[in-house]
Amino acid sequence: MMLLALVGLTLIAVASEAVILPIRHAKFHTAEQSTLPAKRSFEVGKDCFLKDGQPFRYISGSFHYWRQPPEYWEDTFMKMRAAGLNTVQTYLNWNLHEPEPLQYNFDGEVDIRRYFQTAQKCGLLVVLRPGPFIDAEVDMGGLPYWLLRMNSSMQLRTSDPSYLHYVDRWYRKVLPLIHDLTYANGGPIISAQIENEYGWVGSDLVYKEFLRDLTKELLGPDIVLFTTDGPVDSAVVGGRVDGTLTTVDFGAGANVTHNFLDVERKFNSDGPLVNSEFYPGWLDHWGEGWITVDWETVVMTMQQMLQLNASFNTYMFYGGSNFGFVAGSNTQDNDGMVPVTQSYDYDAPISEAGDLTVKYMKIRELFQKYSPGPLGPVPPSRPKTAYGKVHLQYTGSLFDHLETLSAEGPVSSPLPLSFEVLKQAYGFVLYRTQIPFNTRDPSKLAVDTLHDRAVVFLDRKPVGILSRTAVVHSMDIYAEAGQTLELLVQNEGRVCSGPINDMKGILGNVSIDGNNLTDWQAFPINLPGFPDNDPQPFAFKARKVRSDVELKRPAFYRGEFYVEVAQDTFLQFDGWRQGYVFVNGRNLGRYWPVQGPQKTLYVPGVFLFEDGINTLELFEVESAPCRHHGQCFVSFVDQPYLNGTVTFRSGTRNPFAV
Ligand SMILES: *[C@@H]1O[C@H](CO)[C@@H](O)[C@H](O)[C@H]1NC(C)=O
Ligand SMILES: *[C@@H]1O[C@H](CO)[C@@H](O)[C@H](O)[C@H]1NC(C)=O
Ligand SMILES: *[C@@H]1O[C@H](CO)[C@@H](O)[C@H](O)[C@H]1NC(C)=O
Ligand SMILES: *[C@@H]1O[C@H](CO)[C@@H](O)[C@H](O)[C@H]1NC(C)=O
Ligand SMILES: *[C@@H]1O[C@H](CO)[C@@H](O)[C@H](O)[C@H]1NC(C)=O
Ligand SMILES: *[C@@H]1O[C@H](CO)[C@@H](O)[C@H](O)[C@H]1NC(C)=O
């Protein structure tokens, strides 16, 4: 009675101030209300969501805006729509929007407003996962690297005030930018997640409540808040928070009734059943076998969820690419790690290059059965072109270009400094010192806590590789007093799950036969990353190769090629070892054919200049396949080759499937 009376009062107020007063309680549909402007509402109902007061179930797919050029977003949304999805789910990747403290970027490749508005135009609702931690197999799980230098005792993903200060500042920047895009305000965003699978690592109630209250304050009370955790009681208990919807996640082949009815229902007694991450494939790591999941299991598990009237999100429906230095790593025992590949294809229904797969068609057939009307026509896959060989010329070594590439360097210090202290987010730092004493023959060079990989040079001659991934922390060297020792250290991507305070560089001491080396110089290497709203090729000119040693040092190679019609294509790196590739100045990411399994990198057609000359540059870290005259090449092919054999680890299957 009280509520009805209040509603009555609201209506009177609305009648006189119809323009400005938002109506809150959509559940009360009365005759009077129908004469008012249509009220948009999205809420939790019994066993389902309520959209504008009507029972609603979402069928969603994940697609992260930073993993595809904006020119293709609409095409991907239309392909999702045509498969029978009504919703898209994305994270916000903090680290790309605030690369350094208070330096914000919401343009071009990370224009989130354009992304949400395009989704809405294509008829999709949006499930938002602001994080702040997102995992997503991106560097540091989406947290900006600079948090690691702000305060060394900061406890990430907890209620530590030092951490909350930056989270608060970020949320107050980003959420007001999209406040008008919530469903109640006329936009597509129906719900927002609190943290991300938090129960796997923590249970800090103050932290969860802080995020819940801040999200509600900034996005308004009309948005559905939810948590997502693995389908085991302990994880859900750690991650959930009162006043939000508890959801779970699990993949193809999992026990759907167990996960929903035995686990989720314990904490969500009569709301909609939701699987926020249903895995139709899996991610991949350098050095591990390529993982696929067959469509039969995917469709079977989807059907089981549909029969229970559950809402679910397919993670990923479109995986895309990890351009530049976007990819993170996963941990192994004893400070080991495995870096995530550049491709985030995920064996998803829509391939990395936007192509429709058999899995897509089978899923569409299933969703058609549950769709009120016929699904629209399927947009075609984009045509691909094999542009063929591009000959590359040597344009000088890293050492030749050190002044250009490390304008801020060198930084001198008694002991080696981390990337974070050097304000070097990604890529490479060259560390240099003089060997002050004569050594035994041979002697042992050791690096204590190397993150992650170093090519070692004595007087500019490469003498070996140390690697956290390969668990090689020391090597024999033959050195003399006065020789220059250099280590080109590569950040292979910050760890994105578990303990995520993964600083990069040389974190302990470098020693020879147990004697710690001091008096270091560090040269942070400035390479373009992602996003890059003004890509520019390097200005390095072709040079003569004077000796084969030059081809075995980190060096740059450049080629040009004419493109008549710009189409999607793939770059293949036969004979090359490891490095980064730049197309018209854009950092596509790491190539590493000798490691595998990924052998080709996807090149979106929109990165190419049509009817014009295009530039291709490689920064090869180890050794180039060029003979004496600098003649070497890479090839553009028309299909991806992602499942190459790997030398040192066999494939691991999706651990969350069952
Ligand atoms: C660093 O964080 C810790 C833990 O929150 C806090 O006690 C300390 O005061 C902070 N230090 C600085 C310099 O902000
Ligand atoms: C799935 O879980 C249900 C409920 O816990 C159980 O009865 C059933 O045996 C399980 N099915 C399989 C195949 O394990
Ligand atoms: C699913 O929803 C339909 C329509 O409301 C209902 O008839 C059916 O019983 C529901 N199924 C389950 C398993 O809740
Ligand atoms: C590195 O070596 C120096 C000099 O031997 C020593 O003072 C310092 O404590 C060492 N650093 C670490 C992290 O052990
Ligand atoms: C050298 O550095 C290591 C750690 O990097 C440290 O454990 C050791 O104590 C140092 N040795 C000396 C003599 O300072
Ligand atoms: C890689 O995939 C292709 C195409 O699906 C298949 O023909 C080939 O056998 C696979 N290779 C390996 C090594 O799995």
CATH number at residue 175: 3.20.20.80
How many angstroms separate the alpha carbon of residue 332 from the centre of ligand 1?
Answer: 29
Asked if 311 and 444 sit in the same domain, the reply is: no
105 and 70 within one domain: yes
Ligand 1 centroid distance, CA of 162 (Å): 6
Write the pLDDT tens digit of every residue in 138-182. 999 999 999 999 988 999 999 999 999 999 999 999 999 999 999
Q: Do 513 and 535 have their domain in common? A: no
264 labelled catalytic = no
The ligand that comes nearest to the alpha carbon of residue 250 is 2
Domain boundary among 495, 525, 555: 525
For residue 461, give the 3-state DSSP assignment: strand
Q: Which of 43, 137, 195, 197 is catalytic?
A: 197
In this structure, are residues 452 and 337 in contact, taking their beta carbons and an 8 Å threshold?
Answer: yes
444 and 492: one domain? yes
Residue 512 belongs to a domain: yes
Q: Is any ligand 2 atom within 6 A of the Cβ of residue 304?
A: no
Query: pLDDT above 70 covers what percent of the chain?
Result: 92
pLDDT band of 65, cuts 50, 70, 90:
very high
Q: How confident is the model at residue 28 (pLDDT cuts 50, 70, 90)?
A: very low
Ligand nearest to the CA of 55: 3
The reply to whether 134 and 235 lie within a common domain is yes
Write down the mean pLDDT value for the chain: 92
Q: What phi and psi values does residue 214 have, to the nearest 5 degrees?
A: -70, -40
Range of the domain at 100: 3-31+53-328+341-370
Which of 233, 250, 255, 301 for a ligand 2 pocket mutation test, highest count of atoms within 8 Å of Cβ? 255
Answer whether 255 contacts ligand 2 (Cβ < 6 A).
yes
Q: Rounded to 5 degrees, what are φ and ψ at 53? A: 85, -10
For residue 578, what pLDDT is reported? Answer: 97
At which residue do the structure tokens 């859900």 appear? 236
What 3-state class would DSSP assign to 482? coil
**Quick one: pLDDT at residue 5?**
32
Please state whether beta strands 586-591 and 443-447 pair in parallel, antiparallel, or not at all (unpaired). unpaired
Q: Ligand nearest 164 Cα, by number?
A: 1
Asked if 624 and 575 sit in the same domain, the reply is: yes
Residues 499 and 573 in one domain: no
- Of the candidates 87, 536, 97, 156, the one whose C-alpha atom is nearest the C-alpha of residue 314 is 87
Backbone dihedral angles phi then psi of residue 489, each to the nearest 5 degrees: -95, 130
Residues 414 and 359 in one domain: no
Mean pLDDT of 74-100: 98
Q: How far is the CA of 161 from the centre of ligand 1 (A)?
A: 8
Domain final residue, candidates 465, 498, 525: 525
Ligand 3, atom 4: closest residue by C-alpha: 309
Atom of ligand 3 nearest to the CA of 308: 13
Does one domain contain both 480 and 497?
yes
Asked about 277 being catalytic, the answer comes back as yes
Nearest ligand, measured from the Cα of 646: 6
In short, whether 651's Cβ falls inside 6 Å of ligand 5 is no
DSSP state string for 530-582: SS-SS-----PPP----SHHHHTSSEEEEEEEEESS--BEEEE-TT--SEEEE
Q: Which distant-in-sequence residues (6+ apart) come within 8 Å of 354 by Cβ? A: 68, 72, 75, 76, 79, 318, 381, 382, 568
Q: What is the pLDDT, as a whole number, of residue 343? A: 98
Please tell me the distance between residue 459's alpha carbon and the centre of ligand 4 in angstroms.
Answer: 25
The tokens for 34 are 């129908």
Query: For residue range 111-142, what is the model confidence (pLDDT) as tens digits?
Result: 999 999 999 999 999 999 999 999 999 999 99
For 49-54, the CB contacts below 8 A with 24+ separation are 49/190, 49/224, 49/272, 49/311, 50/26, 51/183, 51/190, 52/26, 53/26, 53/27, 53/29
Atom 9 of ligand 6: nearest residue by CA position: 643
Query: Which residues sit with their C-beta closer than 6 Å to ligand 1?
Result: 151, 153-154, 160-162
Ligand 3 pocket, mutate which of 309, 311, 370 (most atoms under 8 A from CB): 309
> What average pLDDT score do residues 84-105 get?
98
CA distance linking residue 225 with residue 42, whole number of Å: 11
- Supply 368's token pair: 């058609």
From the CA of 639, the nearest ligand is 6
Does residue 451 sit within a domain?
yes
pLDDT of residue 33: 44
Q: Which residues line ligand 6 (CB under 6 A)?
A: 643, 645
Region 416-444: what's the mean pLDDT?
95
Stretch (H or E) spanning 428: strand 428-434
Q: Which ligand has the shortest distance to the CA of 311?
A: 3
CA-proximal residue: ligand 2, atom 7 (nearest): 258
Residue 184 counted as domain residue: yes
In a domain, 456, yes or no: yes
Compute, in angstroms, the gap from residue 514 CA to the centroid of ligand 5: 8
Rounded distance from Cα 515 to ligand 5 centre (Å): 8
Question: Could you tell me the distance, in angstroms and rounded to a whole number, from the CA of residue 275 to the centre of ligand 2?
Answer: 17
Q: What is the dihedral of CA 227, 232, 238, 241, to 10 degrees?
A: 40
Distance CA 98, CA 66 (A): 14
Nearest ligand 6 atom, CA 642: 1
**Looking at residues 507-521, what average pLDDT do you find?**
97
Q: Tell whether 317 is covered by a domain.
A: yes
Strand partners, 587: 582
pLDDT average, residue stretch 559-567: 97
CB 159 within 8 A of CB 209: no
Cα of 643 to ligand 6 centre, how many Å? 6
> Ligand 2 pocket test: which of 232, 258, 266, 305 has the largest number of ligand atoms within 8 Å of its C-beta?
258
Alpha-carbon gap, residue 428 to 426, rounded angstroms = 7
613, containing H or E segment: strand 612-620
Q: Is residue 358 classed as helix, strand or coil in its secondary structure?
A: helix
CB-based pocket (< 6 A), ligand 3: 308-309
Q: How sure is the predictor about 256, in pLDDT bands with cuts at 50, 70 and 90? A: very high
Question: Cβ(47)–Cβ(311) under 8 Å?
Answer: no
CB 294 within 8 A of CB 330: no
Q: Are residues 133 and 264 in the same domain?
A: yes
For 360-412, how does the pLDDT look when each residue is reduced to its tens digit (9 = 90+)? 999 999 999 999 899 999 999 999 999 999 999 999 999 999 999 998 889 99
Banded pLDDT at 13 (limits 50, 70, 90): very low
* DSSP H or E stretch at residue 314: strand 311-314
**Helix or strand holding residue 10 (H, E):** helix 2-16
In DSSP terms, 112 is beta-bridged to none
Catalytic-labelled residue, pool 277, 352, 550, 620? 277
What integer pLDDT is reported at residue 621 of this predicted model? Answer: 98
| pLDDT band, very low/low/confident/very high, at 653 (cuts 50, 70, 90) | very low
- In a domain, residue 381? The reply is no
Question: Which amino acid does the sequence have at 133?
Answer: F
Residue 411: the pLDDT is 98
Whether residue 642 lies inside any domain: the answer is: no
Pocket test for ligand 6, best of 293, 599, 642, 643 (most atoms within 8 A of CB): 643
| C-beta of 258 in contact with ligand 2 (< 6 A) | yes
Look-up of token digits 């004569």: 438
318-374: pLDDT as tens digits: 999 999 999 999 998 777 899 999 999 999 999 999 999 999 999 999 999 999 899
My answer on whether 112 and 223 are in the same domain is yes
Domains identified in the chain, total number: 3
Residue 648's pLDDT is what?
53
Least confident segment among 141-150, 504-513, 585-594, 620-629: 620-629
- The CA angle 433-435-440, to the nearest 5 degrees, is 150
Q: Which atom of ligand 1 is nearest to the CA of 151?
A: 1
In the numeric block, which tokens belong to residue 260?
A: 């929903």
pLDDT score recorded for residue 439: 86
Is 309 near ligand 2, meaning CB less than 6 Å away? no
Ligand 5 lined by 415 (C-beta under 6 Å) = no
Q: Which atom of ligand 1 is nearest to the CA of 154?
A: 2
pLDDT band at 10, cuts 50/70/90?
very low
How is the chain split among helix, strand and coil, in percent rounded to 5?
Answer: 25, 25, 50
Which two three-digit tokens encode residue 176?
Answer: 């007001």
**Which of 516, 518, 520 to probe ligand 5 with, by most ligand atoms within 8 A of CB?**
516
Q: Report pLDDT for 254.
A: 98
**Does residue 40 lie in a domain region?**
no
Atom of ligand 4 nearest to the CA of 449: 13
**Where does 308-400 have alpha helices with state H?**
358-370
Between the CA of 27 and the centroid of ligand 6 the distance, in Å, is 54
In whole angstroms, what separates CA 557 from the centre of its chain? 28
Domain at 474, CATH number: 2.60.120.260
CA of 447 to the centre of ligand 2 (A): 50
Residue 630, by phi and psi: left (phi above 0), alpha (psi -120 to 50) or beta?
Answer: left
C-alpha distances (whole Å) from 643 to each of 199, 244, 639, 640 are 33, 41, 12, 9
Same domain flag for 481 and 623? no
Vertex 13: Cα angle to 10 and 15 (nearest 5)? 110
262 close to ligand 2 (CB < 6 Angstrom): yes
Could you tell me which of 331, 325, 341, 226 has the C-alpha nearest to residue 283?
341
